[in-house]
Structure 1
C-alpha cells in the first residue's frame, strides 16, 4: 500500500507538472526558485579532500523534514531543488541513507528536483576541467541510481562553473540549465566571480561570466545566478566598510546578521526590487535563494518570507531551478535580452538609504550608475563590455575568475574609481547610447 500511494503521488505530480509547463509563460509572470545543498563537508574540493568543517551533525533526517515543512507551510505547492555533494551522494551512514530516501519521496510528492553539486561549490578553483566533467558525469549517474525510473535532473547546481564545463553539460549530458554564476561575488568564500549579468543568459565559450555574442560562441546552457542580491550592498567587495556585500535574500546575511524582523525586511526589500519595479521594466521577474541545510538559522524565517511573498504577490510561481531555466530557454533562443533594474537603498547593512542604483544589462555590456541623493550626482561604478575577447583562467589554478571590465564595481583596481557620467570617453558614450540614450539626458 505504501508503494501504491507513492506511485499515485508520483503520477499526480507528473500530471500537474505537465499541465503547468504546457501553459506557463515567462513573460508576464514572477518566478521564485529555492535551492538547498546537502553536503558532508563544507567545501569538498575533490572527491577525497575537504576544506572547512565536517557538517555531519547538521545533516539529519529531522532537519530535512523541518526544512521541507517550512517551505510547504509558507508556500503550499512550491517545488524546490535539492543538490547533493559527491560525499552526500555516496555516504553509507544511516542519516545520509535516510536523507536520500526522504528527498526521493519529496520528488514524487511535490515534484522537487534532485541534482548534483560538484565540489560542494567552487569546483573549478581546485580541479581540472576534465576532472569536473568526470565528477558531473558520475554524480549525475549516481542521482539517477538513487531516484530510479531513469530520472535525470533538468539542471546542475554549481556555485561557479566554467564555460567549458557548461558546454560539456549541454553537449554530452543533455543538461541545459546550470546555476553556474554567483553574481558579484568577490572576496567571500573560496572563489571570486564578478562580471556577469544577474538574470539568465547563454554563456560564451570564452568565459562563463560573458554572455555569448552570437551562434558560434554560444553555449546552449542557461547560466543562472545563485541567490538574489541587494544591488547596493553587492557593489562592495567582501566585508568592506563593515557590511556584508552578499546581503539580499540569503538567510546568513539577513536573518542571521540582522535578526528576524529586520532580516525579513531586507529580504522583502530585495524581493520587491524584482517583483515590483523590475517586473514592470523587464516583463518578467525572478528571485532565487539558496538555504543550505546545515544553517543554524530558524526555518520560521523561511516560512515568514514565503508567506509574505504570497500575500504581496499572490500569483508568484515557485518552480524548480531547472523548470525556470528551461522556460527562459524556450523564450530566448539567443542573448537578445535587455535587463534593467532600479533600487533605492533600504538603510539596512550595505543598502545605503541615501543612494540609488540603476543597472543596465545586455549581451554587449553591463552598466551601473550610482546616484547620491544628497548631492544629486551620478557616477558610473561599472562598465563591463562583453563584445571584446576574454579568456577563462586555467581550471584549478586560481580562485579569481572575475571578468573585469573597463570599470568594475568592486573597485579593486585604480581604474575602477567611479566617474561622473559626463566624464566617460566618446567611445564609451557611443556604445552606451546605442542601447540607452536616456543615460545622457
Structure 2
C-alpha cells in the first residue's frame, strides 16, 4: 500500500500517542575555499519543521484535513529539537507555524511557541510562517495570500519579539506575484516556494522547475527569470530533496512513491529504519558526492511536520550519518542558505548538473542512470539502462525561454510542462534520443552544455 503524505498521517494518527517521545560547467571543488559565508566549496543542509493545528489549513477559516492538536505537545517538540542537536551538534533549523498554530491559545500551543522562541535564542533557529499548509494558491486568491503573508509574518515575528523578522518563508508552492510581494513589500528575499517534481500527489501539482535555487520569473514560479524585466528578487527553494529516479514518475505510478528521497514518510515510514536510512543517505549522496564535484557546492533540504508519527530517532540517525560522512556540512536555516546563494548569484547564471544511479529501493531503479542539466534556458534529463550500456534518451526537456502563464483560477494544476515531461502523462512525453529534438532545441542545449553530444 503506497500512501501520500496526507493519507499517511490520517491512517497513522492512531499511533501518535505511542510515538511521542554556480559557476557554469564542471568545477574542481577541491581548489575552492569553503569559507563560512561562501556558497562554493560548501555542502549545505537545510531542515524545516512545520507546526500546525489542522492537517491541511487551506485558508484561515477552512480545513480539509484532520485535527492534530493531540499530536502537538511540548514534550514532542523538546524530543524533536534534542534529536536534531544530538544528530548534528550546532545545527540550526527553521520552524514554520500555520495560521491556526500562531493563533491557538490552548496550553500546548502557548508552550510550543515559547519553546520555539527559546530555540531561536539557544540555537539560532529561524521562526516563520507557512500560508495555506503548502497549497495556498490552490485555495486562495493572490490578494488573500498576500494578506495572509503580511499578518502571518507579523505574528511569527512576535513570537521572538524585539523587532525580529524571519529570513524566509516556508510555503510549499507559492505563486510568482506572491513572491514578488514578499521581496518588494515584506523585504523577505528567500522563499521555499516550489516542491520539485510534485505531480498527482497531495493537493497541488508543481512539476517543471529547477531543483536548486533560482530567481523566479514574474510569469510563473516554476520558471527562472530570463532578465531584468521579469526578475523577482526572491530566491525560490525546493521543499524536499527527492531521489531523481523515483521523481520521474507521476504520483504512485507503477506502485512507487514519486516523492521518495530524504523525507521520512516515503523512507522510514515505508521501509523501516534501516532501509529508510539507506535511501535517505543515497539521496543525500547524489548531491554531497557527485553533485558537489559537478557544481562546486551542494545542497540538501528536508521538512518534517512536528505531528509525524515517526520516531525522532530516525531524524537523529540521518543527521548523525551526515555528520560522520561529511563532517564539514553546514546545517543552517533555509533563509541563511538562500541569502548566501543570493550573494553569489545576482542573476540566474547558474548551470547545474546532477547524475544518479538508482539505489534499488522503491522506485529508484538500480539498473538506470539519469543525468540532469538545469539552467536559465531549460532543464534536460537523459535516462539510460547503464547495466545494458543502452543509449540515453530524453525523458524531460522544458524550455524556459518561452512564455509561461500561471493559472488564473483556483486549481491544483500549477505545473510547467515542457516539450517532454519526466512524468510521461502525455503522448508527447515518450522518451526520444537527443538527436531527435529539433535543430533549434539542440542548438540551445549546445550553447549551455557544449560537451554534451
Measured after TM superposition, the shift of residue 437 of structure 1 is 3.0
Q: Are residues 1:351 and 2:355 paired?
A: no
Q: What is aligned with 2:285? A: 272
Q: 1:386 aligns with which of 394, 400, 422?
A: 400
Query: How does 1:278-293 map onto structure 2 within 5 Å?
Result: 278-293=291-306
Alpha-carbon separation, structure 2, partners of 1:102 and 1:291: 17
How much has 1:84 moved relative to structure 2?
A: 0.1
Deviates more, 1:238-247 or 1:370-379: 370-379
Q: Distance in 1 between matches of 2:278 and 2:157?
A: 40
What SS is found at the alignment partner of 1:278? helix
Matched residue, 1:376 = 390
Which of 418, 425, 430 is matched with 2:431 structurally? Answer: 418
- The residue aligned with 1:11 is none
Cα distance between partner residues in 1 of 2:257 and 2:157: 38
Structure 2 unmatched ranges of 5 or more: 1-33
Which protein is richer in strand relative to its size? 1
Q: Map 1:142-291; keep pairs closer than 5 Å.
A: 142-291=155-304
Distance 1:228 1:101 in 2: 30
Shift of 1:144: 1.9
* Deviations 1:140-175 (CA, angstroms, capped at 9, x unpaired): 111122211011000000000000000000000000
Cα distance in 2 for residues equivalent to 1:130 and 1:119: 13
Mapped to 1, the partners of 2:445 and 2:38 lie a distance apart of 30
CA distance in 2, matches of 1:417, 1:25: 41
| Counterpart for residue 77 of structure 1 | 90
Cα pair 2:419 2:429 within 8 Å, conserved = yes
3-state SS of paired residue (2:65): strand
Structure 1: gaps of 5 or more residues:
1-20
Residue aligning to 1:6? none
State which of 99, 104, 110 in structure 1 corresponds to 2:112. 99
Partner secondary structure for residue 196 of structure 1: coil
How big is the alpha-carbon RMSD for the aligned residues of Structure 1 and Structure 2? 1.1
Q: State how far apart, in whole Å, the 1-side matches of 2:407 and 2:236 are.
A: 18
**Partner residue in 2 for 1:320:** 333
- TM-score using structure 2 length: 0.91
Cα deviations by residue, 1:287-342 (Å, 9 ceiling, x for unpaired): 00001111000111111100100100010000001000000001100000000000
- Structure 1 residue 64 and structure 2 residue 59: aligned? no
* 1:438, distance to aligned residue in structure 2 (A): 2.7
| Secondary structure at the counterpart of residue 109 of structure 2 | helix
Cα distance in structure 1, aligned partners of 2:425 and 2:36: 46
Larger mean Cα displacement after TM superposition, 205-214 or 139-148:
139-148
8 Å contact from structure 2 (residues 127, 157) kept in 1: no
Question: What aligned pairs does 1:6-25 form with structure 2 within 5 A after superposition?
Answer: 23-25=36-38
More moved, 251-260 vs 418-427 = 418-427
Matched residue SS, 1:37: strand
After TM superposition, give the deviation of residue 429 of structure 1 in Å: 1.1
The DSSP-based 3-state class of the residue aligned with 1:437 is coil
Distance 1:435 1:150 in 2: 44
Match for residue 5 of structure 2? Answer: none
Q: Structure 1's 278 and 85: CA in aligned 2 closer, same or farther, altered over 3 A?
A: same
Secondary structure, counterpart of 2:222 in structure 1? strand
2:128–2:157 CA contact under 8 A, matched in 1: no
- Residue 421 of structure 1 deviates from its aligned partner by 1.9
**CA–CA distance in 2 between the matches of 1:232 and 1:143?**
37
Structure 1 SS opposite 2:259: coil
Aligned residues: 419
Partner of 1:304: 317
